[in-house]
Amino acid sequence: MSSRSITLDLHPIYNKGNLIDAALAEAFDEAEATRARQLEIICGKGSGALKKRVLRYLERKDVKARYHRIDKDARNHGRLFVYFRPQRGQ
């Protein structure tokens, strides 16, 4: 069973909308390719606009079908966790 976790830090591209979506898509592709169980997305605390954008992306029907659940970090509201279903044979 893979316990691999992937981290995506969006701080460097916080104000570049097209790059944010591309980075999220790339992180999802990597998570699926490596059979990662968790994707940690660091969007920072700031005004909350970046986190809202990430949550809107995660709510898209085509994206939602790719993961199991999302958790917001209770101790750090600038961080999200996306969990993937374990694949058979993992």
CATH number at residue 42: 3.30.1370.110
pTM for the model stands at: 0.86
Residue 53 and residue 51: Cα distance in Å, rounded?
A: 5
Q: Is residue 71 in some structural domain?
A: yes
Q: Does residue 66 sit within a domain?
A: yes
- For the chain, the domain total comes to 1
Residue 69 within a domain: yes
Separation of alpha carbons 66 and 81, rounded Å: 14
Range of the domain at 74: 5-83
**pLDDT tens, the chain, 90 aa long:** 346 899 999 998 988 888 999 999 999 999 999 999 999 999 988 888 999 999 999 999 999 999 999 998 888 889 999 999 876 555
Q: For residue 90, tell me if it sits in a domain.
A: no
Q: Is residue 26 part of a domain?
A: yes
pLDDT at 63: 96
Classify burial at 17, counting beta carbons within 10 Å of its beta carbon; exposed 0-12, middle 13-18, buried 19 or more. exposed
Q: What pLDDT sits at residue 1?
A: 39
